[in-house]
């Protein structure tokens, strides 16, 4: 995060939200001492985002906050932000966050002449003084329009309110309902023009995806895309598509593939540590076996491995691998290996991405396997899958994790182009295929590419035996065994 | 503050007693207008059976939160029940009377 703060120092002071992924998109955070408008229809996560902004501020940045709630009482608020409950209540007890529920009568209040909203200002001022607040949330300010009929007075008071917040140097988040044909129902964007964020919840191909977009950020550059995000028991989660960038360090250390002949094909050393490897091939060519060799070898060296298995259960993988002489069970018992088996279709793409990130966060694997990635096409378009894989590859690379993907190809002519078009992202690509010669159907292996090392150009037959994969002698240019 | 706190007159037996609370925030022109309007209306319509309480929220902002006051001035009819809330400087007498249920709409 420091990287972004340094970069933006010359332009505009920013207040980090502390929300996973959001500060990267905002290139540091929200405009410091200004108001930010967060708009979206009902149920898009505006309130949660606002609460998280305060909780993170008080917890990690020593910036107390005030939450003026126009719609939910404290009880409702804590219920609806269950993920942040413990933190929120604790911070309220410590006077680091103050919540004031402003009750706006829906029934008509008789208006008998001129008035102002000084009562609201006094409450805000009092709450700010009690906590020494640096952050303020007004959720949802527009509710005022249902309680008061004199819009002339209201608009003048809103202007006064935003001027007040600015003069006080408070970083504020104002939430608003999405309106027809405009960003917000009551045209709040007219008052808040420094930064506008739109939240959205769309159903696409039967799966709901929440998305976030920075519509405007005066004086600052920001990510322009729509960023998918999730709301789960950890709170608000955004994974910027390409934020991680390409500035990771490339290791020169190697890790054995677990198959000595394959190590030889890869200039005698195996895969680069922290690189990514694709093993593709049609059904039954032995992809998972290649993976198991590698995992076994890594565990033998004391490295932590995490496998996401999308087609087989733990037991099935263990049984099948045992049948070829690879015993994974001891590694699981020693806590070096974890196999997470789950059908891809059980959850949306974003949930999946989130879950894998959380597991990586908690397990800290040095080797990660996704078997197979091709299954993701069942829950998203190939563009979605590609963008997800880019994010995975980038973030795991940044963490120095060696990642192995398998990919099921349908065979035939297209086996050198993966359906999801990730080939260009891959460092080492091992192609498995059946080769039919002289009335025999043999498995063969080929290193299609391997960045940064001289690799064999040979097509090698191999057999899967009781003692694992065994590569056989080389084939010459005519396909004859030598 | 030095504004009169109670303007209680003789209470006649059997008659309803009106307790009105006016929330202000400092002695602003709006507050002063509201107070003089309120006194006039009460004398004209509720003479002898009203009681006005003035709360200056600048002295105790916590009360604004406790009593859910946002607009200034706000007049609250505490008695007779039910509680009624009207806002503004009370310059529209008819609306005040309707709002307080002194006369029906």
Q: Where are the domains of chain B?
A: 18-99
Mean pLDDT of A215-224: 87
Residue B28: strand, helix, or coil: coil
pLDDT of A346 strictly over 80: no
* pLDDT attached to residue A20: 75
Q: CB B71 to CB A103 under 8 A?
A: no
The structural domains of chain A, with segments of one domain joined by +, span 2-238, 254-412+420-474
Cis peptide before B80 (omega within 30 of 0): yes
> How many other CB atoms are found less than 10 A from the CB of residue A86?
11
Count of CA atoms in the C-beta half-sphere (13 A) of B101: 14
Q: Which of A109, A110, A122 sits opposite B25 (nearest CB)?
A: A122
Cβ contacts of residue A56 below 8 Å, gap of 6+?
A16, A17, A18, A19
Task: Considering only the beta carbons, identify the residue of B62, B68, B88 that sits closest to A113.
Answer: B88
Looking at residues A91-97, what average pLDDT do you find?
A: 95
Q: How far is CA A476 from the centre of its chain?
A: 46
Which DSSP string corresponds to A125-137?
Answer: HHHHHHHT-SEEE
Measured CA angle at A137 (ends A134, A142), to 5 deg: 145
Q: Indicate yes or no: CB of B61 within 8 angstroms of CB of A126.
A: yes
Comparing alpha-carbon positions, the chain B residue that sits nearest to A99 is: B65
Q: Angle CA(A342)–CA(A344)–CA(A349) in degrees, nearest 5?
A: 125
Contacts of B86 in chain A (CB under 8 A): 109-112
Nearest to B62 among A105, A117, A126 (CB): A126
- Can you tell me whether residue B100 is helix, strand or coil? coil
Cross-chain residue pair A119–B96, CB shorter than 8 Å: no
Strand partners, B21: B53, B76
Q: In what order do the strands lie in the sheet with A276-281?
A: A337-341, A305-309, A367-371, A402-408, A276-281, A428-437, A440-450, A459-465, A468-474
- Whether residue A180 is predicted with pLDDT greater than 90 in this model: the reply is no
Give me the sign of the Cα torsion angle B78, B83, B87, B89: negative
Q: Positive or negative, the Cα torsion across B81, B85, B86, B88? A: positive
Of all residues in chain A, the one with the smallest CA distance to B98 is A110
- Interchain proximity B88–A104, CB inside 8 Å: no
- The shortest C-alpha distance from B66 to chain A (Å) reads 10
pTM flag (> 0.80) = no
Check CB contact under 8 Å for B72 and A148: no
How close is the nearest chain B Cα to the Cα of A127, in Å? Answer: 9
B-chain residues near A148 (CB < 8 A): 71
pLDDT at position A339: 92
Using DSSP, how many helices (H) and how many strands (E) does chain A show?
Answer: 14, 23
What single-letter DSSP state applies at residue A178? B
If one counts every other C-beta atom within 10 angstroms of the C-beta of residue A208, the result is 11
What would the mean pLDDT of A420-437 be, rounded to a whole number? 82
Same topology, domains A2-238 and A254-412+420-474? Answer is yes
- Residues of chain A with pLDDT > 70: what percent? 88
Is the Cβ of B92 closer than 8 Å to some Cβ of chain A? yes
Instruction: Write the pLDDT tens digit of every residue in A99-119.
Output: 999 998 766 688 999 999 999
Determine the pLDDT at residue A342.
Answer: 82
Class at the top of the CATH hierarchy for domain A2-238: alpha beta
| pLDDT > 70? residue B7 | no
Q: Please name which of A307, A238, A294 lies closest in space to residue A263, comparing C-alpha atoms.
A: A294
CA dihedral A25, A26, A29, A35 (to 10 degrees): -140
Residues of A near B (CB-CB distance < 8 A)?
A: 100, 102-105, 109-120, 122-123, 125-126, 147-148
Put simply, the answer to whether A117 touches B72 (Cβ < 8 Å) is: yes
Give chain B positions within 8 Å (CB) of A116.
30, 71-72
pLDDT tens digit string along B27-64? 999 999 999 999 999 999 999 999 999 999 999 999 99
Spell out the CATH class of A254-412+420-474: alpha beta
Task: Give pLDDT, residue A6.
Answer: 47
Mean pLDDT across the stretch A84-101? Answer: 91
With a cut of 0.95, is the ipTM above it?
Answer: no
Tell me which residue of A201, A167, A173 sits closest to A188, measured CA to CA: A173
CA distance A152 to chain B (A): 14
B82 touching A (Cβ < 8 Å):
no
Closest-CA distance of chain B to residue A213, Å: 33
Interface check B69 vs A, CB under 8 A: yes
CB A453 within 8 A of CB A267: yes
**Nearest residue, CB atoms, A109 vs list B33, B65, B85:** B85
The residue among B67, B62, B24 whose CA lies nearest residue A127 is B62
Q: How many CB atoms lie within 10 A of CB A448?
A: 16
Q: Is B52 on the interface with A (CB under 8 A)?
A: no
Measure in Å the smallest separation between the Cα of A24 and chain B Cα atoms: 37
Please state, in angstroms and rounded to a whole number, the distance separating the CA atoms of residues A416 and A253.
28
Measured CA distances, A235 to A19, A275, A343 (Å): 9, 31, 24
How many Å lie between the alpha carbon of A114 and the closest alpha carbon of chain B? 5
Over 70: is that where the pLDDT of A415 sits? no
Stronger pLDDT, A74 or A80, i.e. the higher one: A74
What rounded mean pLDDT belongs to chain B? Answer: 85
* CB-CB contact of A273 with A402 (8 Å): yes
Residues of B with Cβ-Cβ distance to A103 under 8 angstroms? 68
Confidence band for A388, pLDDT divided at 50, 70 and 90? confident
Q: List, for residues A239-294, the tens digit of each pLDDT value.
A: 655 545 556 667 788 999 999 889 989 887 899 998 989 998 888 889 999 999 99
Nearest CA in chain A to B86: A110
How much is the pLDDT for A206? 60
Instruction: Determine the Cα–Cα distance for residues A365 and A255; give it in Å rounded to an integer.
Output: 14
**Per-residue confidence band for A52, with pLDDT thresholds at 50, 70 and 90:** very high
Is the Cβ pair A110, B96 closer than 8 Å? yes
Distance of residue B77 Cα from the nearest chain A Cα, in angstroms: 12
DSSP one-letter string for A93-124: HTTSEEEEE----SSPPEE-S--B-HHHHHHH
Per residue in A283-335, pLDDT (tens digit) is 888 999 999 999 999 999 999 999 999 888 989 999 999 999 999 999 999 99
The Cα B105–Cα B94 span in angstroms is 9
CB contacts of B72 in chain A (<8 Å) are 115-119
Domain B18-99, CATH 3.30.1240.10 — does that match? Answer: no
Helix/strand/coil for B74: strand
């Amino acid at each position: 995060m420091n990287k972004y703060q340094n970069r933006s120092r010359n332009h505009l002071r920013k207040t980090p939200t502390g929300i996973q992924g959001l500060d990267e998109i905002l290139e540091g955070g929200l405009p410091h001492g200004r108001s930010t408008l967060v708009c979206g229809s009902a149920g898009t996560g505006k309130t949660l985002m606002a609460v998280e902004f305060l909780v993170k501020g008080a917890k990690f940045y020593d910036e107390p906050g005030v939450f003026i709630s126009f719609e939910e009482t404290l009880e409702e608020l804590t219920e609806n932000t269950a993920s942040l409950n413990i933190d929120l209540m604790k911070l309220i007890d410590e006077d680091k966050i103050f919540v004031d529920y402003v009750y706006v009568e829906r029934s008509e209040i008789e208006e008998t002449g001129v008035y102002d909203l000084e009562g609201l200002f006094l409450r805000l001022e009092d709450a700010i003084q009690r906590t020494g607040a640096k952050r303020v949330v007004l959720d949802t300010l527009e509710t005022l329009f249902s309680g008061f009929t004199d819009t002339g007075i209201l608009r003048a008071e809103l202007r006064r309110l935003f001027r007040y917040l600015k003069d006080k140097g408070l970083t504020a988040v104002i939430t608003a309902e999405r309106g027809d044909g405009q960003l917000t129902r009551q045209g709040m964007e007219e008052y808040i023009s420094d930064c506008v964020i739109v939240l959205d919840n769309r159903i696409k191909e039967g799966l709901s995806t929440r998305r976030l977009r920075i519509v405007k950020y005066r004086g600052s550059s920001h990510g322009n895309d729509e960023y998918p995000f999730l709301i789960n028991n950890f709170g608000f989660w955004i994974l910027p598509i390409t934020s991680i960038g390409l500035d990771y360090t490339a290791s020169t250390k190697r890790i054995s593939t677990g198959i000595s002949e394959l190590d030889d094909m890869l200039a005698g050393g195996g895969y680069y540590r922290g690189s990514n490897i694709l093993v593709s091939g049609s059904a039954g060519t032995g992809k998972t076996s290649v993976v198991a060799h590698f995992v076994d070898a890594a565990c033998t060296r004391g490295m932590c491995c995490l496998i996401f298995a999308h087609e087989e259960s733990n037991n099935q993988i263990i049984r099948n691998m045992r049948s070829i002489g690879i015993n994974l069970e001891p590694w699981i018992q020693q806590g070096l290996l974890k196999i997470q088996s789950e059908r891809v279709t059980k959850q949306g793409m974003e949930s999946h991405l989130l879950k894998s990130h959380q597991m990586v966060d908690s397990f800290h694997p040095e080797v990660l396997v996704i078997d197979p990635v091709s299954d993701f096409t069942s829950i998203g378009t190939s563009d979605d899958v590609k963008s997800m894989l880019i994010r995975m590859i980038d973030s795991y690379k940044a963490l120095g994790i060696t990642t192995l993907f398998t990919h099921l190809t349908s065979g035939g002519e297209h086996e050198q182009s993966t359906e999801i078009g990730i080939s260009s992202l891959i460092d080492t690509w091992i192609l498995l295929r059946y080769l039919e010669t002289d009335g025999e159907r043999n498995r063969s292996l080929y290193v299609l590419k391997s960045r940064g090392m001289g690799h064999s150009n040979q097509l090698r037959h191999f057999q899967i035996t009781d003692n694992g994969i065994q590569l056989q002698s080389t084939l010459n240019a005519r396909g004859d065994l030598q | 503050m030095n504004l009169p706190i109670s303007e209680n007159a003789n209470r006649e037996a059997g008659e309803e007693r009106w307790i009105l609370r006016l929330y202000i925030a400092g002695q602003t022109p709006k507050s002063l207008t509201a107070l003089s309007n309120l006194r006039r209306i009460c004398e004209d319509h509720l003479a002898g059976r009203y009681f006005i309480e003035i709360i200056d929220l600048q002295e105790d902002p916590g009360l604004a939160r406790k009593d859910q006051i946002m607009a200034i001035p706000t007049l609250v009819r505490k008695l007779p029940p039910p509680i009624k809330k009207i806002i503004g400087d009370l310059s529209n007498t008819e609306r005040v009377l309707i709002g307080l249920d002194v006369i029906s709409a």
